[in-house]
Amino acid sequence: MTGGDERSGDRPATFRDALAVPAFRRLWLGQLLSILGDQVARVALSVLVYQRTASAALTALTYALTFLPDLVAGPLLSGLADRYPRRRVMVVTDVARAVLVAAMAIPGTPLPALVVLLVAGQLLAAPFLAARSAILPHLLSGDRYVAGNAVISTTYQLAQVLGFALGGPLVALLGVSPALAVNAATFLVSALVLRFGVPEQQAATPDDAAEHADRGSARGGLRGEAARVVAGARIVGSDPRLRSLIGLACISAFVVTVEGLAAPYAAELGAGTVAVGLLLAANPLGQVLGILLLTRLVAPHRRPRLIGPLAVASCVPLVVSALGPPLWVLLLAWVVSGMACAYQVPANATFVVSVDDARRGQAFGLAVTALRVTQGVGVLLAGLLAQRTAPSTAVAIGGVVGIVVALLAARAWARASAEPPATVAEPEEDVADEAA
C-alpha cells in the first residue's frame, strides 16, 4: 500500500510523505497550473469587461458567473466521475476548457459569447473536481491521504493569492488576450501531465449493479440523470455522519462574508485599496497556517474530535468587529479565523472516504453544491445587512449567528461520529501500489 500504514497512528504524515508518491505529485502539479491560470483569467476578464462597458456592475456580474455554474454542475455533472474512468474525465474536461478559454482569447469576441464560453468552462470544473476527489484515496492511503488533502487545500489558497497578485501585472504586461491564452495553455499542460502521469481508475461497481443494469441503461437523458442525483442525495441524507460533515463544511458561509465585505469594510475604516488586498488575503493566509499546524502537530486519530470545536472557533474572531478595532487587530482576527477553518481538511477527508466508491463523485458534487449555495446566500445576506447597518456590524452579526449554527452542527457531528459509520470505503491496495 502507498500510504503510511507502517507509521504509528500518533505520527502525522507530512506534505513530503504525500508528495513522495509520483502519481499524487503529478495530480498536484496539474491542479497548481489550472488554479494559477484560472486566477489570471478572472483578472483578465474583469479588465476586459470593464474596458468594453465601463460598468462596475457588469464587471462584478461577470466575476460572479465564475462561481454560479457550480450550483447546476455540482449535482448534475459530478456523477460523470462515477460512470466513466476518472483520469479520462479529468483529461477530457481539461482539454475542453482549454478550447473554450482559447476561444475567449480571440480578439474581438462579442461580450455575450464571452459570457457563454465562461459559463461553459465553469460547468466543466464540477466533474473535474469530483473525479480528482474520488481518485485521490486510490493514490494515497492512511494519513498520507489526509496530508494530500492538506497539500491540495494549501496549494489552492496560496495559488489564489499568487494568481491575483500576478494577474494584474501579467495582464498589464501581455494584454487581455495573451493572458487568456496563457490560461488555455495551463489547461493543456495539466491534461498532458494527468494523462501520462496518473494511473487510470474506474469507480467500483455497486453490489446491486447487475440487478439494475438493464433498468439503468434504459433510463437515460435527464430522467436518468435526475435518478442518479436522487440516489446520491439519498446516500448522503441517510447517513448522519455525512449530513453533519456537510453542515460543518457550510459554516464557511459565515466566514466567507469577510471576503465579500472586504472593500466596503476598508472604506468604513477610511483605508485604501491596499487594505482591501490585506483583508482579502487574511483568511487564506490563516488557512495555510492552520493546515500546516493541524497536519504537522496533531495526531491523525485526534483530528476528527477537533472538527466541531474548530468550526465554532472559526466564527468567534468575527465578533471582534463589533468593538470597532483598528485595521491590524481586524487582520489578526481574520487570520485566526482562517486558521480555525483548517478543520475543513479532516472534514473533507472523512467525508470522501466515508462514501462508497461507486457514489463518491456524485456525493462530493452534492456537498460542493451545498457549500456554494450557502456561501452565496451568506455573502448576499451579509451585503444586504451591511447596506442597512455597516460592514463591521454585518460581520459581527454573522459571527454570532455562525457560532450558534456551528455549535448545533458540532453537536450533531459528535453524536454521529460516536456511532459506527454507515459505509467506509478503503482505497484498493493494488491501485495504490500502482500509483507508487
**Which among 31, 35, 43 has a CA at the least distance from the CA of 173?**
43
Domain co-membership, 192 together with 299? no
Domain co-membership, 293 together with 387? yes
Residue 436, domain member (yes or no): no
Residue 146: which residues within 8 A CB-CB, separation 6 or more?
12, 13, 295, 300, 303, 345, 346, 349
CA separation for the pair 150, 295 (Å, rounded): 7
Structure-block grid coordinates of residue 139? 493514490
Domain co-membership, 63 together with 169? yes
Residue 283, domain member (yes or no): yes
Domain co-membership, 32 together with 136? yes
Domain co-membership, 112 together with 178? yes
Residue 40, domain member (yes or no): yes
pLDDT in tens, 106-139: 888 888 888 888 888 878 887 887 788 778 888 8
Q: If DSSP codes are grouped into helix, strand and coil, which group holds residue 219?
A: coil
CATH number at residue 403: 1.20.1250.20
Residues of the chain short of pLDDT 70, as ranges, are: 1-11, 42-43, 46, 50, 54-79, 81, 160-161, 163-168, 203-238, 272-274, 277, 357-362, 364-365, 419-436
Residue 348: which residues within 8 A CB-CB, separation 6 or more?
149, 153, 249
Determine the structural domain holding residue 362 and report its residue range: 239-423
Residue 93, domain member (yes or no): yes
Domain co-membership, 187 together with 325? no
Residue 192, domain member (yes or no): yes
Q: Hey, what amino acid is at 109?
A: T
Domain co-membership, 314 together with 178? no
Domain co-membership, 194 together with 251? no
CA separation for the pair 314, 413 (Å, rounded): 16
Query: Considering the entire predicted model, what is its pTM?
Result: 0.65
Q: Hey, what amino acid is at 93?
A: T
Number of domains in the chain: 2
Choose one of 150, 171, 201: the last residue of a domain. 201
Domain co-membership, 178 together with 33? yes
Domain co-membership, 279 together with 196? no
Q: If DSSP codes are grouped into helix, strand and coil, which group holds residue 170?
A: helix
Residue 352, domain member (yes or no): yes
Sign of CA dihedral 79, 225, 425, 70: positive
Residue 41, domain member (yes or no): yes
**Which among 271, 269, 289, 383 has a CA at the least distance from the CA of 334?**
289
Domain co-membership, 276 together with 170? no
Choose one of 201, 229, 259: the last residue of a domain. 201
Choose one of 185, 201, 217: the last residue of a domain. 201
Domain co-membership, 410 together with 272? yes
CA separation for the pair 252, 314 (Å, rounded): 8
Residue 178, domain member (yes or no): yes
Residue 277: which residues within 8 A CB-CB, separation 6 or more?
none
